[in-house]
Structure 1
Amino acid sequence: MSRLTRRGFLARSSALAAAAAVSPVIVSRARANPGPGQLAMVSVAPNPRGSIEKLYLLKGDPLAGPITTILAEDGAAEPARALPDGTRRVLRLMHYNDMHNHMTDLHPKRGDTHRLAQMVQQVNAAKAAAADDEIVLFLSGGDDHTGSVFDELLGWSPEEFVADAGYRAASAAGVDLAVLGNHEFDRGAAQLKIGLDRDAAFPVLSANVHSSAHIARDVDYTPAAVAEVKGLRIGFIGLTTAIDTRTGMESDPTLAVASPVESAANLYKAVEAVSDVVVILSHCGYGRGMHKSGKAAAARLIGEGDFDIADAIGPMSEKPVVLIGGHSHTALNAEGIDADNMVAGLLLTQAKANGQFLGEIAMSVAKGQGRDQWFSSVALHPVKRRDDRLKPGDDGYDRAEHDGDYDAGFEAQVMAPMIAALDGKLSEVIAEVADDTLVSTPRTVADRYVGEVAIGNLMNDTLVKRSASFPGGPVDFSLFNATGLARGIDKGPLTFREWFDVMPYADVIDVATLTGAQIRDMLTSNARRILRPEEVAGTDLTGFVSRGFLHFSSGIRYRIALGASAADARAVDITLNGTPVEELLDQSFTMAFNSYISLGAFGETWNGKPIGGGVAGEIPSFDVRGLPWNHTGLVYRNELIAALREIGTISETTGVVLDGRLALA
C-alpha cells in the first residue's frame, strides 16, 4: 500500500473532496494568461495524419489546487457543430503503451517484425470502415523511448541528434495524443525537447511533471487537452509515474513529479465541463502501492497507480470516463472486460508493452446523457511476430507475420530511412564471443537474481580496467544492477545491436567515494535483495525482480549468509582487494555506478526507503544519494563497447568467469 501518515492522508482526502465539489465556470473570449485555479483553452493544429478535427490545449497549473475557471477562446467553449441531446457517437480509441522504440524489431534470422506498421494497417482499416457516427482515435500511453537500437538516433547531445524515432514514427502513424512516460527523460529533458520540437506532430500531456530546466509546461507539454471530432468533445488528462521518473539528475536538478492523484483530481471537473467523455492517459502503472503485474516477477513499487487514480476520479465523474494505462507492462482485458478492471466505475485497460498488442476501447456515447446511457467494449489485438523460417503447415505459421499483414508504405517511407541511418552501427562487429556457456541468454536470466552472473562480472571488471581513461582517474570497483541485464550473448560475432540488447537502458557513469564501512553496509543491503532459494521455484525469472540486486567487480568478494529471512541476511567474509573489510572501515574507495542506481534506483530503492520487490519486513535500504559524486558524463554502454572492441575476443581469459566473488553461505 502507499505509505501516508494519518495527517498526510487526511490532508489529501480534504483536497480531493474540495476538488470534487468544484463546478468550473467557463469564461469565453478571455485571452489572459491563466492564474491560480484557471486553465486557458487554446486552439492548436492537430496531427494532420490523425483524426482530430479541432484540438484545444488546456494550459495552466493543476498543482496549485482545484481548477475553478476555464478561460476559453472565442468559440472554444462549445462545439462548432453542437449535437442534440441523445445523439450517439461511437468512439473507438486504438492505443498502445510502452513501445520503447520497438516500432520495427530487427532480426537477422527470423526477419524483421513490423509492429507499428501492423498497427497502422489496422487503425487505417478501422478509419476507412467507420460509419458517419463513428470516431477512431490513435493514442500512445507513454514510454515511447528507451529499449531498442533506435534510441541511438536520439543521441546524448544536440550534436548527436539524428531523429526522435519514437515520436517521428508515431507522428507519421497518425497518433493523436500521447502522455509523457518516465523513460522519456532517460537521456535528459534537454534531449527530449529536441525530439518534441522536431518530431512530435501531436501534443504530449502530463499534469504532474513540473519545474524542469529544459521543458516547460504549457509550451512543450500540457496537463490536458480537448479534441473535437464529429461534434463530440473528448477530454484528455495525462499523468506520469512519480516513482520511476529520473528526477535528481545533475543536468536538470529541479525536475519533479507531483502526486498523479491530486493532479488528476484538481483537473478532472474542469476537463469534464468542456467534454462529453474523458480519457485519462495514465503512465502510472496498474495497481497501487506494491503490486505485481506485467513485467514484474515479484511485487513492484507502483506508488499512486491506476487504482488510486480511479478511486479519486470515479466518485466525482458525471460523464463517461475511461483510463488507458501504461508503465507496468500489463495486458488487461485480453478476453473482453474483466470485472477486476472496473474500479470506482472506471474501466482500466493497458496493452502490455513493446508493440505486442494494439488495444481498443469502443464506447457508445449519448450526448447529454451523462453516465446513464453509455456502453463500452474493450479488446487487445495481438501483433504478429515475424519468423521467415516457418513454412506453410508448420506450427505457428498462421500466427506469424507475413507480407500483407502490415502497411508496407509506412514501413518503406517512415521506418526504412531510420533503419538505414542505423545500418552501419547496427551491424558493426565489436568483438568475437569464443564460448557462450556462461553468458548465453538462458544462463544470464537464470543467474542474475540468484547469485553471481558471468556477464555482470565481464561488464564490471571491464569497466574497472577501462576507468584508467576516466576523468578523475581509475576507480577501485564497479557495480551494475541485475534488472539492467536484459539478455546474454551468443557464440560468434558480437554486433553493436546484440550488445545493446544486453543493456538497453540509458545510463551514464557516476563515480562515488565510499568508505569500507559504507561498502560493507551496501553489501548487507544487497544480501537482503537476492532472490532466496525458497523463492526461486515460484518466480518467473524472465520477469523483473525489482529489488535493486547488484553485481560487483572482482575486487569485492563476499558471502551471503541467508539466515531465516531477508531481514536476517548478512554479507560476511567481505574482502576489498584481498584485505578483510574490518581493516579498511575508514579507508576511502571509488566505485563506478550506473546512473539509475546513483539516483537512488527509484522503485528499486537504494534511497533509504524500504526494500521492495516482494521483500517482507519493511527493511530500510542503503541510501546512496548522499555519497560524494563525480558525474563523469560518460555513457555506460559506449565505454563498455569501446573496451570490448579493444579486447577483441570475449573468453574466460578476457573476463567471462564465475570466480566465487559472491557465494551463498
Structure 2
Amino acid sequence: MSNKDVNAHTSMSRRSLLLGSAAIATSAAFSPMLTFRANAAPMAGELQLVPATPNPNGIIDKLFLLKGDPLSGPIKTIVAEDGSPVPAPVLQEGERRVLRVLHFNDMHNHITDLHGKKGDTHRLAQMVKLVKEARTNAAENEAVLFVSAGDDHTGSIFDELMGWSPEEFVADASYRAYSAAGVEIAALGNHEFDRGAELLKKGKDTDATFPLLSANVHSSGYMKRDEDYTAAAVADINGLRVGLIGLTTNIDTRVGQPNDPTLAVDRPVTALSNLLPAVSEISDVVVILSHCGYGIGQHKSGKAATARDIGDGDFAIAKIAGELSEKPIVVVGGHTHTKLNESGIDENNLKDGVLITQALAHGKFLGDIAISIAAHQGRKDWYNSVSLHPIKASDKRVASDDPKYPSLQQEGDWDASFEDTVVGPLLKQLDSKLAETIGMVEADTLGREVTIASRYIGESALGNFMNDAVVARSETFPGGKVDFALFNATGLSAGVEKGPLSFKAWYDVMPYADAIHVATMTGAQLRDMLNNNAVRLLRPEEAKDVDLNGFVSRGFLHFSSGIRYEIALGADAKSAKAVNITLNGQPIEEVLDKKFTLAINSYIAFGAYGETWNGKPISGGVAGDIPSFDLRKLDYDHTGLVYRNEVIAFIREQKVITEANGAKLDGRLAVKA
C-alpha cells in the first residue's frame, strides 16, 4: 500500500459501538481517533501501532504490532510510533478479497511422531506441503495465512530440548520448526508456561521469527507484554488488512509458580471487549486466536470425556465479538482439543454470524477457512468454505492393497526437504535421549489398556508405582523423606509394556512438566481431601457411558501406599465418602491433629485449574455444585525437583520395574457400593 493510499484513508468514519453482553456487566462507547504521537509510550486507553518484521518464510507484506494495555479499560485511540499516519483498512470500495486461514491448535510439540513399528508420522511436514500448495495455487485476489492457536509445547519428547533452566536450553523445537514452516502468528496457550516464563522467553528469543499474541496474559517477571508478546497485530496481505487478537485461558494457565509469582491471566472477555472495536475499525477482517476452549462455563467437548470448567470459552467470545463489530470475524480456537466443522460449517458454530472453529489437536488436522470479503459489506455472505484436512498417520506395516492404505501417510505426502533440513537436526539432538534404556519392565500390570481403563474408576498399578517411587526418592529431598505422595489421574497418559523401557516410553506416560511441592497437612486435612477425592471418582453407572480414553477432568487423585482407604459410593456423588482411612498404618481418628508431609505435583498444588482443587465447585460432570478442597492454601516447600525426573531416577536405581518395587495393586483403595 503506497503512502498516497495510506494518507487517503486515514480519515475514517467514526461510529460508536456499545460494549455489552450477558457475560460481562460493563459497557463503554468506542469512537476511534486515528492519529500519531512520535516517540511516546502508549497511554491508558490507547494502543500504539508499531511496524515489525514478518516471518521471512511467510507471506505478510506489512506487519504491525499493537502495543499497550488492553486490560486498563476500553481502547479509544490508536497511535503510530514514528509519526507516520496510522494505516486504514486496505480493501478499496468495490473490491473483493479472499482470506484463507490455515490453522492448527494444541500441537503440543507433535512435530513428528516417532514409532518404531509403524514408522514416523511427519505431521508438521505434511502441513508445510499443504500450505505451500495453497500459497502456490492461490488466486490473484487471495491471501493465505498460516497460524497457531496455542499450546505448542508440552506433550512430546521434543520438549526435552528446552531443558529445565536457561543453562540446559538447546532449542525451542516447536518455534524453530514453525519459523521455518512459515507460521505467521501464534497465540500463547496455557502450556507455553509449563516450564516457566523464563524458558518460554529463551525459546521465543532464540527460535521464533513470528510474533506471539495474548491480550489477557500480564505481569510476568520474564515475558514482558509489548516486548515478548503483544495483545494484537495487524497484517497487510495482498491488498487485505487482517487484524489478529490472541486470548489465553484464565482457567488452566499455571500462574502462582514460585519463580514467577506475579504472572497473571485476566478474563478473556474483558480483554476482548476493550480491544476488539479498535482493532476491527482499522481492519477488513479480524481473526481471534482463542486458546480458551470450545463452549462456555462447564462444557464437554474434545479431550474432555465429561464436562469441564473452561470459563469464558469461545461461545462467550464469539457472542461479544458479534455485538462489538460488524466486520467479518472468525474465532480460531484451541485448548479443548475439539474437532469442529470437519466437512463444512456446522450451524451450531455460528454465533451472531461469527464463526468458531478448531482443528482437534496434536497435528491430526490442518484447519482451513476461506473467507470472501467485500469492502464495507460486513458479515454479509462472506464465507466460502470451512473444512479440516486430515494429517495422515504412518503405518508401514499396512500393504498397498489394504483398503486402509490410501488413508495412511505415504512417500510424497510430506515436504521431505522441510523434514530433512528442519526436523532432522532436532531429532539428531534427541537421538541419545530417545533411545536410552532406563530400565526393564517385568510387571505385566502397567500396560496402556489397563492403565487407561482404571485411572478414573479406582486403584491404578501405574499410579501406585509412581507415587511409591517419589516417596522412596524423597530420602534425597532437601527437606528429607516425605510421608506420602499423590498424582492426578489425567496425568497418566499412557502405559508401559514388558521389556526394555526407553526414556521416550516413560515420557509418553507423563509428558507434563510437573515440579514437586511438599505440603504439610494434618490428619484432619488429609481426611477432608480424601472425602473430596471420593466425590470425584467416575462411578460405575457413569463409566459405561464414558469414553475412558478421553479426559475425565475431575481431578481424581492416586496416592502412595501409606494412605489406605475405601470409597463408599452411596446413592450419588454427593453422598460418596472416604471410610476406613489409615495413615501409615494408624486409623485416621487417632492422628487427626498429627502433621504429615505430602509430595504433590505442581498442577495439583496450584489448584488444578479446571480440575478444581481450588475451592470452586468440582467439575468434570459431577452434579450438585460440590465445593472442592482448596490445596492452594497449604504450607508448601517448593523443592525445585521435577516429578518425572524423580520417577526416572528411581527406575534407574532399581534397574527393573516389578511388583516387588511397587508395580501392583495392593488394595490401598477399595471401592464399595
Q: TM-score when scaled to structure 2? A: 0.95
Decide which of 225, 230, 247 is 1:222's aligned counterpart. 230
SS in 2 for 1:625: helix
Decide which of 559, 570, 587 is 1:580's aligned counterpart. 587
The residue aligned with 1:85 is 93
- Answering whether residue 153 of structure 2 is matched by residue 141 of structure 1, we say no
- Give the counterpart letter for 1:395 in structure 2: P
The residue aligned with 2:8 is none
Q: Give me the whole-angstrom Cα distance separating, in 2, the residues matched to 1:390 and 1:525.
A: 48
The residue aligned with 1:511 is 518
CA contact (8 A) 2:490 2:555 kept: yes
Q: Deviations over 1:501-537 (max 9, x none)?
A: 0001000111001111111111000000000011011
Cα distance, 1:372 vs structure 2: 3.0
* Structure 1 residues 576 and 83: alpha-carbon distance in aligned structure 2, compared to 1, 3 A threshold: closer
The residue aligned with 1:466 is 473
- Give the counterpart letter for 2:150 in structure 1: G
Q: Give me the whole-angstrom Cα distance separating, in 2, the residues matched to 1:78 and 1:191.
A: 35
The residue aligned with 1:5 is none
Q: Give me the whole-angstrom Cα distance separating, in 1, the residues matched to 2:299 and 2:112.
A: 30
The residue aligned with 1:406 is 414
The residue aligned with 1:4 is none
Decide which of 332, 357, 362 is 2:365's aligned counterpart. 357
Decide which of 598, 605, 618 is 1:598's aligned counterpart. 605
Cα distance, 1:13 vs structure 2: 4.0
Q: How many residues align?
A: 652
- Give the counterpart letter for 2:455 in structure 1: R
Q: Deviations over 1:165-194 (max 9, x none)?
A: 111111110000010000000000011000
Q: Give me the whole-angstrom Cα distance separating, in 2, the residues matched to 1:360 and 1:476.
A: 52
Q: Give me the whole-angstrom Cα distance separating, in 1, the residues matched to 2:77 and 2:331.
A: 24
Q: Give me the whole-angstrom Cα distance separating, in 1, the residues matched to 2:519 and 2:219.
A: 27
Q: Deviations over 1:195-250 (max 9, x none)?
A: 11111100000000001111110000000000001121000010000000001111
The residue aligned with 2:498 is 491
Decide which of 61, 71, 74 is 1:53's aligned counterpart. 61
Q: Give me the whole-angstrom Cα distance separating, in 1, the residues matched to 2:252 and 2:501.
A: 31
Q: Give me the whole-angstrom Cα distance separating, in 2, the residues matched to 1:367 and 1:45.
A: 27
SS in 1 for 2:453: helix
Cα distance, 1:14 vs structure 2: 4.3
Q: Give me the whole-angstrom Cα distance separating, in 1, the residues matched to 2:181 and 2:283.
A: 26
Q: 5 Å matches for 1:176-255?
A: 176-255=184-263
Cα distance, 1:463 vs structure 2: 1.0
SS in 1 for 2:406: coil
Decide which of 280, 288, 291 is 1:272's aligned counterpart. 280
The residue aligned with 1:553 is 560
CA contact (8 A) 1:164 1:195 kept: yes
Q: Give me the whole-angstrom Cα distance separating, in 1, the residues matched to 2:85 and 2:437.
A: 57
Q: Give me the whole-angstrom Cα distance separating, in 2, the residues matched to 1:570 and 1:295.
A: 28
- Give the counterpart letter for 2:591 in structure 1: L
CA contact (8 A) 1:556 1:575 kept: yes
- Give the counterpart letter for 2:370 in structure 1: A
- Give the counterpart letter for 2:152 in structure 1: D
- Answering whether residue 323 of structure 2 is matched by residue 311 of structure 1, we say no
CA contact (8 A) 2:21 2:320 kept: no
The residue aligned with 1:627 is 634
SS in 1 for 2:446: coil
Q: Deviations over 1:313-371 (max 9, x none)?
A: 10121211111000000000001000000012200000000000000100111123323
Q: Give me the whole-angstrom Cα distance separating, in 1, the residues matched to 2:91 and 2:603.
A: 51
- Give the counterpart letter for 1:311 in structure 2: K
The residue aligned with 1:636 is 643
CA contact (8 A) 2:146 2:184 kept: yes
Q: Deviations over 1:593-624 (max 9, x none)?
A: 11000001011111111111000000011111
Q: Give me the whole-angstrom Cα distance separating, in 1, the residues matched to 2:403 and 2:380.
A: 47
- Give the counterpart letter for 1:586 in structure 2: D
Q: Give me the whole-angstrom Cα distance separating, in 1, the residues matched to 2:385 and 2:23.
A: 33
Cα distance, 1:131 vs structure 2: 1.7
Q: Give me the whole-angstrom Cα distance separating, in 2, the residues matched to 1:12 and 1:655.
A: 49
Q: 5 Å matches for 1:399-438?
A: 399-436=407-444, 438=445
The residue aligned with 1:540 is 547
CA contact (8 A) 2:103 2:368 kept: yes
Q: Give me the whole-angstrom Cα distance separating, in 2, the residues matched to 1:120 and 1:86.
A: 34
The residue aligned with 1:531 is 538
* Moved >3 Å (runs of 4+): 9-14, 28-31, 73-76
- Answering whether residue 669 of structure 2 is matched by residue 656 of structure 1, we say no
The residue aligned with 1:153 is 161
Q: Give me the whole-angstrom Cα distance separating, in 2, the residues matched to 1:262 and 1:602.
A: 19
Cα distance, 1:77 vs structure 2: 2.2
- Answering whether residue 40 of structure 2 is matched by residue 32 of structure 1, we say yes
Cα distance, 1:464 vs structure 2: 0.6
* Structure 1 residues 154 and 76: alpha-carbon distance in aligned structure 2, compared to 1, 3 A threshold: farther
Q: Give me the whole-angstrom Cα distance separating, in 1, the residues matched to 2:388 and 2:600.
A: 39
SS in 1 for 2:633: coil
CA contact (8 A) 1:85 1:369 kept: no
CA contact (8 A) 1:12 1:262 kept: no
Q: Give me the whole-angstrom Cα distance separating, in 2, the residues matched to 1:543 and 1:424.
A: 32
Structure 1 gaps, min length 5: 1-8
The residue aligned with 1:3 is none
- Give the counterpart letter for 2:612 in structure 1: T
The farther-off stretch of 484-493 and 309-318 is 309-318
Q: Give me the whole-angstrom Cα distance separating, in 2, the residues matched to 1:373 and 1:230.
A: 21
* Structure 1 residues 151 and 25: alpha-carbon distance in aligned structure 2, compared to 1, 3 A threshold: same
* Structure 1 residues 394 and 11: alpha-carbon distance in aligned structure 2, compared to 1, 3 A threshold: closer
The residue aligned with 1:165 is 173
Q: Give me the whole-angstrom Cα distance separating, in 1, the residues matched to 2:209 and 2:286.
A: 22
Q: Give me the whole-angstrom Cα distance separating, in 2, the residues matched to 1:375 and 1:243.
A: 32
- Give the counterpart letter for 2:532 in structure 1: S
Q: 5 Å matches for 1:293-372?
A: 293-372=301-380
Structure 2 gaps, min length 5: 1-19
Q: Give me the whole-angstrom Cα distance separating, in 2, the residues matched to 1:231 and 1:395.
A: 45
The farther-off stretch of 309-318 and 261-270 is 309-318
SS in 2 for 1:414: helix
Q: TM-score when scaled to structure 1? A: 0.97
Percent identity over the alignment is 62
* Structure 1 residues 76 and 382: alpha-carbon distance in aligned structure 2, compared to 1, 3 A threshold: farther
- Give the counterpart letter for 1:200 in structure 2: A
The residue aligned with 2:17 is none
- Answering whether residue 139 of structure 2 is matched by residue 131 of structure 1, we say yes
CA contact (8 A) 1:79 1:228 kept: no
- Give the counterpart letter for 1:626 in structure 2: K
CA contact (8 A) 2:102 2:144 kept: yes
CA contact (8 A) 2:288 2:332 kept: yes
SS in 2 for 1:150: helix
SS in 1 for 2:521: strand
- Answering whether residue 298 of structure 2 is matched by residue 290 of structure 1, we say yes
The residue aligned with 2:527 is 520
Q: Deviations over 1:31-67 (max 9, x none)?
A: 3211010000000100000110100000001101110
- Give the counterpart letter for 2:343 in structure 1: E
Q: Give me the whole-angstrom Cα distance separating, in 2, the residues matched to 1:500 and 1:449.
A: 21
